[in-house]
Structure 1
Amino acid sequence: EAEMLKAAQAQNFELAAKLRDMLSDLRQTTRPITRYHRTPANLPLAINPDADLAELAKLLNLPAPPDWIEGFDISNISGTLAVASLVVFKRGRPDRSNYRRYQIKSVEGQDDFAAMAEAVRRRYTRLLNEAQARGEKPLEQGSGCLPNLILVDGGKGQLNAACAELEKLGLAFIPVIGLAKEFEEIYRPGSAEPLRWPHTTGALKLLQRIRDESHRVANTYNAQLRLRKISESILDEFPGIGERRKAALLKKFGSVQRLRMATVEQIAAVPGFGGKMAEALKAFLEARSSD
């Protein structure tokens, strides 16, 4: 917000408007986060994950309790900075070491279905490749290389997108369901009508924990990227920077914060920069940090 005010005072209204829009998107992204709390690895005593898994298997007609469940969610605001989250629950508990976050690369604009397809494709293409590299046969059911159940946040559209990608990969045998937020309905492939379970059902509460955790991870990642983008916008004010040089700086240092800590010599070593420009950029960043 301070950067936006500085830009406005300097009559750089185009930059001020850009920062205003970024801040608006950031506030919209972070607003729901307070609703979703990090799922603790050590669940409260009132929760019985084994019973919830057994009930889930019964209600979904699964051959066994799904000890390995993966959940996907998509987060974007106004079709920008779309990201996906992948959370893993083993035996009903979060397995954070296997969480993944994806920046959506192949989708322009707001298309949650296409974004879901990309996330699913990237996740299971990688799992297949890793299993094959170990000499395993992941396409055999019961191989232990793949989850027992996939949960996508959303209704028929997200579910169909995920199923289509799994079929292309030869993984149509993995059970997939969608959980739609508004009425907490469970969608299944090939079923026109969703399942509606009592809100006291342990199986539903388990799915909600997975969905809420994937939502928290996706929204948090989206907010982090937006904050980074706002921080990077300061470089746009440096004369002669250009998109190519800006990209080279961020590739080298990772963030504006790390760039501020770099020496003139380190900046000068970046392609497209020389000693004089590096000195000018260093002075510019120091002046802005002291404003």
Structure 2
Amino acid sequence: MRKSTYILPVIVLAVVAVLSSVFIVDEREKVLVLQFGKVVSTKDEPGLAFKIPLIQEVARYDDRILSRDVPPLQVTPSDDRRLEVDAFARYRIADVNQFRLATGAAGENALEVAGRRLDSILRSKTREVLGGVSSNDILSSDRATLMLRIRNGAISETRTLGLEIIDVRLKRTDLPEANKEATYARMEAEREREAADEVARGKEAAQRVRAQADRTQVEIVSEARKQSEIIRGEADAKRNAIFAEAFGADQEFFEFYRSLNAYRGALKGGNTSMVMSPDSEFFDYLKSDKVE
């Protein structure tokens, strides 16, 4: 009875000691075995591992690819057009020992400490790279090259943190709120100026077309009048030739015909009055009913 009283606690202590000396390394993490705060071993293979109970402890670190949103920052490209940039980085803990030395912490606290230092590095490299190019380069397809330059520039500095930068991406590049209204007003003024230039060029072109049309009209009318005068002259010449021929054929008949035309033109209806001498030659063919 007394033996069982002593054996049971010993067994319990042994089981507790065995259980406290065994720990599991997950495939998504790396583990450091610490003894009095110093690293004695690194466990990066998944499975069971052992430590000395009460003397040694474990510190676990995430081995997955992590993401970090960089706080928005303002950059001034070479053309002095200020932009607001949002970026994020994908990284992993490459050297867990260096990571612990750089952060001096474990777990979430270590990631937060490393994250703040990573933010500082990325913000500095982003300003450095984007400050040397124009805003058009940042907004064009060349931004992929710029992101690669930011990543490559940050690799050496993040290596001192035990981190490996996998990728850096610019999520958004936009004008600061304070500059949007001014930029919009400038763009609106430029569009209005372009519209005014187009209207002025349209009016100038319309004036040229109108002037050309007026000139063409004058030329056509002048040419038509010229041709009509030529035709009228030719017709008058033919008429006079016919009159001359008729006069030569029968002078008395020609004079009679001319008198009838004169009577037709002079003796019209209405209130027209004529005052002349009764023995005027104008009435020669009205005095007699026959022609000699």
- Please tell me whether Structure 1 or Structure 2 has the larger radius of gyration of its CA atoms: 2
Structure-2-length-normalised TM-score? 0.20
Relative contact order (C-alpha < 8 Å, sep 6+): which is higher? 1
Structure with bigger strand share is 2
Structure number with the higher helix fraction is 2
TM-score (norm: length of structure 1): 0.20
